[in-house]
């Protein structure tokens, strides 16, 4: 049972980060495995993640995603695409966390842990974008995007360095999104009906 706890926490942290940025968590995971940081090891089935070709492709994809998310209207297209792509990335990242398990178990764990977690955090990210768009006419979205970049980066870093702290961090992130949503709802004038 104990052998499931740390991989599951790492998987949840990686998947949550893919809910904010699709490729950054996978790139960081591949780099950590390549340079043997934080004790990250990949199973044979996931060893492609730290191959030079994958790292180059993930580096390019990460750069394009980070830059494109700062452009008004393009950020909304990325968000719509992310609804489908980020759960897949979350499942891959979470499955990679179960490196010492049978590949089939790792894949199932990735699907069970990664996809729903990535989708939940993508939904939270999308709701903050809705709030930013409605309150700032989209002008605040690039700043929100930078905060999401930082959140994704530090979530992955914490997931690899101290996975036991991931539940606390994720609870704080969700609480912050909830508070923001409530604050904006309180500011809206009530809808009048005839």
pLDDT reported for residue 188: 63
* Low-confidence stretches of the chain (pLDDT beneath 50): 1
With pLDDT > 70 as the criterion, what percentage of the chain qualifies?
A: 95
- C-beta of residue 15 within 8 angstroms of C-beta of residue 94: yes
pLDDT reported for residue 191: 55
Query: Which residues 6+ apart lie within 8 Å of 40 measured at CB?
Result: 29, 32, 33, 160
pLDDT reported for residue 134: 84
pLDDT reported for residue 194: 55
- Note the pTM of the prediction, 2 decimals: 0.89
CA angle 106, 110, 112 (to 5 degrees): 115
pLDDT reported for residue 1: 43
Cα–Cα distance, 93 to 129 (Å, whole number): 24
Cα–Cα distance, 6 to 97 (Å, whole number): 9
């Amino acid at each position: 049972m104990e052998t499931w706890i740390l991989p599951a926490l790492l998987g949840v942290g990686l998947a949550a980060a893919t809910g904010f940025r699709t490729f950054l968590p996978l790139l960081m995971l591949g780099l950590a495995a390549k340079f043997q940081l934080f004790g990250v090891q990949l199973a044979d089935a996931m060893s492609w993640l730290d191959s030079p070709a994958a790292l180059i492709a993930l580096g390019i994809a990460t750069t394009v995603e980070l830059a494109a998310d700062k452009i008004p209207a393009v950020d909304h297209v990325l968000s719509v695409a992310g609804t489908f792509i980020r759960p897949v990335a979350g499942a891959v990242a979470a499955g990679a966390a179960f490196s010492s398990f049978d590949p089939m178990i790792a894949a199932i764990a990735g699907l069970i842990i990664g996809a729903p977690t990535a989708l939940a955090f993508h939904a939270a990210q999308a709701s903050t974008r809705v709030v930013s768009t409605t309150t700032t006419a989209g002008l605040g979205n690039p700043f929100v995007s930078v905060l999401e970049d930082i959140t994704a980066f530090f979530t992955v870093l914490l997931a690899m360095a101290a996975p036991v702290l991931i539940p606390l961090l994720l609870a704080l992130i969700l609480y912050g999104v909830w508070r923001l949503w409530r604050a904006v709802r309180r500011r809206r004038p009530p809808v009048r009906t005839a």
